[in-house]
Amino acid sequence: MKKGWIFLFGLVCATVGSAQAEQVGSVDTVFKLLGPDHKIVVEAFDDPDVKNVTCYISRAKTGGIKGGLGLAEDTADAAISCQQVGPIELSDKIKNGKAEGDVVFQKRTSLVFKKLQVVRFYDAKRNSLIYLSYSDKVIDGSPKNALSAVPIMPWAETK
């Protein structure tokens, strides 16, 4: 019983500090007679630690009966694009960030063991933020990944 609580606590803690996405739109890819269709979902989230950076993720969402009940495992296919939408100011935490990067977004893609993650890296030499999306699983992850870079430039104001 104690292990179950520890596991549940770990799942809750894993989502703390990461951004929440809002769905922008979706397209159906496969018609399913029973349950929702398979689709590609487009979601947006703002980097929780960097003001004025927004990322868009497109990902596969499994439909059918299992998908409708939340029991299906989504594929590891995802794409990401991140943009500067205003002036960026980096905190010392990001400038002195770890080489493993910081998780800025997580989304469960199976009932328990699989999730889509976005990790942010800071490239000081090129003055850029790098966003890597990938899917991982407790036992084995996927080499499928996508990358987006945001150069940090002074925001041009027009008057």
* Residue 119 DSSP symbol: E
pLDDT at 33: 85
Locus of tokens 């739109």: 25
CA–CA distance from 137 to each of 59, 110, 132, 148 (Å)? 16, 9, 16, 22
Closest CA to 105 of 24, 22, 40: 22
pLDDT at 89: 84
pLDDT at 48: 93
Output the pTM of the full model: 0.76
The contacts of residue 96 (CB under 8 Å, 6+ apart) are: none
Answer whether 131's CB lies under 8 Å from 123's CB: no
Domains of the chain, residue spans: 20-149
pLDDT at 135: 87
Tens-of-pLDDT digits for all 159 residues of the chain? 555 444 433 444 444 456 788 999 999 888 888 888 889 999 999 999 999 999 999 988 888 887 778 777 888 888 999 999 999 988 888 888 777 899 999 988 877 778 899 999 999 999 999 999 998 876 666 788 999 999 998 654 444
Closest CA to 42 of 86, 81, 85: 81
